[in-house]
């Protein structure tokens, strides 16, 4: 039985499994959840392990305990990755402030001007495009639009999640104590 399918049968015992098996590392997490169930149940077959958990409350509680330990370890690893990422962002921002570099502002301005020029040119109607050319121009406009979005997000933040990250950065670096 494929790991994710087998892990779906375990969600009834530990609902948080669902949060993990549909993410980037879904198959790895599903394999771990199934292996925990197999070890607790003392059987190789994932379906038999799930059945054992269903009928044996002590096995079910042990599975939940072990799954919770594993889930805690996954959260701790995710937190460490986020800390490293946030420290990297903070370092880049600090460097920009300390050096008073205008390079990011100039790059941002060039990207935004390029975006508006590209969109204006396409929307002006002066471009007679065939179907294939239209697809290419659409791709270019999409690419430039994404870069413009990144510029705006860099200078103004992208969302409330960005504000939350700023608060986390401040706490991690001692600025929010």
The residue ranges of every structural domain in the chain are 3-80, 102-172
When comparing pLDDT for 103 and 155, which is higher? 103
When comparing pLDDT for 2 and 36, which is higher? 36
| pTM listed for this prediction | 0.54
- The closest of 32, 26, 25 to 63, measured between CA atoms, is 32
pLDDT at 91: 75
Q: Do the Cβ atoms of 52 and 74 come closer than 8 Å?
A: no
Angle 144-149-152 from CA coordinates, rounded to 5°: 130
pLDDT at 93: 67
Other CB atoms within a 10 A radius of the CB of residue 28 amount to 14
> pLDDT averaged over the chain?
82
Q: Tokens at residue 21, please?
A: 């098996």
Indicate if the pLDDT at residue 165 is higher than 60. yes
Residue 128, Cβ density class (10 Å: 0-12 exposed, 13-18 middle, ≥19 buried): exposed
CA atoms of 23 and 36, how far apart (whole Å): 19
What does the buried/exposed string (b/e) look like for 141-175 if buried means 16 or more CB atoms within 10 Å of the residue's CB?
Answer: beebeebbeebeebeeeeeeeeeebbebbeeeeee
When comparing pLDDT for 152 and 14, which is higher? 14
Confidence of residue 59 (pLDDT cuts 50, 70, 90): very high
């Amino acid at each position: 039985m494929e790991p994710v399918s087998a892990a779906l049968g375990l969600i009834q015992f530990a609902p948080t499994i669902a949060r993990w098996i549909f993410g980037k590392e879904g198959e790895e997490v599903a394999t771990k959840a199934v292996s925990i169930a197999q070890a607790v149940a003392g059987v190789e077959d994932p379906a038999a392990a799930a059945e054992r958990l269903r009928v044996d409350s002590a096995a079910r509680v042990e599975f939940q305990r072990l799954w919770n330990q594993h889930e805690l370890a996954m959260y701790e690893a995710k937190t460490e990755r986020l800390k490293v990422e946030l420290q990297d962002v903070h370092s880049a921002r600090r460097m920009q402030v300390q050096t008073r570099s205008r390079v990011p502002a100039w790059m941002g301005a060039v990207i935004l001007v390029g975006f508006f020029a590209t969109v204006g040119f396409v929307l002006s109607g002066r471009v007679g495009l065939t179907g294939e050319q239209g697809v290419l121009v659409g791709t270019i406009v999409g690419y430039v639009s994404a870069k413009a979005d990144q510029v705006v997000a860099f200078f103004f933040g992208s969302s409330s999640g960005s504000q939350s990250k700023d608060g986390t950065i401040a706490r991690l670096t001692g600025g929010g104590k």
